[in-house]
Amino acid sequence: MVLTTFSGENGALTASIVDSAGTRMAAGSGHRSVEIFDLEHPAGQQLMALPLRGEDIGLYLRYADWTPEGNRAVLIGGSGTAYLIDLLQGTKRARLYMEPGALPRAALSSDGQRVFLAVDARRLGLFSGDTGKLLMSLEGHEDDLAALAIRADGQRGVSAGGREIRVWNLEDGRTIQTIDAGAEVASLAYLGTNIAVGCADGSIRLFDDETGGMSLIIEMAQIPVAAVAFSPDATRLISVAASGQVSLWNVPEGSKVRDWGIEVQMTPTREGHLSVRFEPRGRYAIAYDQRFSFTVFDTQDAEIVYQSELFPAITLFDRDDLVGTISPYGAVGTYSLQ
pLDDT value, residue 160: 97
Integer CA distances (angstroms), 4 to 37, 251, 287, 312, in order: 11, 38, 22, 19
Do 199 and 207 meet the contact criterion of CB atoms below 8 Å apart? no
pLDDT of residue 333: 47
Taking alpha carbons only, the member of 141, 247, 260 closest to residue 196 is 247
What pLDDT, on a 0 to 100 scale, did the predictor assign at position 6? 47
Which secondary-structure segment (H or E) carries 165?
strand 164-169
Task: For residues 230 and 220, give the distance between their C-alpha atoms in angstroms, rounded to a whole number.
Answer: 18
How far apart, in Å, are the Cα atoms of 139 and each of 59, 120, 315? 31, 10, 32
Q: Where do the structural domains in the chain lie, given as residue ranges?
A: 140-313+328-338
User: What architecture is domain 140-313+328-338?
Assistant: 7 Propeller (2.130)
How many angstroms from the chain centroid is the CA of residue 177?
Answer: 24
Ordered DSSP codes for 2-16: EEEEE--TTS-EEEE
Burial class (CB in 10 A: 0-12, 13-18, 19+), 165: buried
Alpha-carbon distance of 54 to 217, in angstroms, equals 47
- Residue 113: what are its φ and ψ, rounded to 5°? -80, -15
Q: What is the model's pLDDT at position 79?
A: 67
Q: Block means of pLDDT (10 residues each) for the chain, length 338 residues?
A: 44 54 59 62 58 50 70 75 76 84 90 94 95 95 96 96 98 96 95 95 96 92 90 92 88 89 54 67 69 67 62 40 41 44
Nearest residue to 105 (alpha-carbon basis) of 186, 26, 175, 216: 186
Cβ contact 141:164 at 8 Å: yes
Looking at residue 264, what DSSP letter applies?
-
Which residues make Cβ contacts (< 8 Å) with residue 267, sequence separation at least 6? 242
Side chain identity at residue 219, one-letter code: E
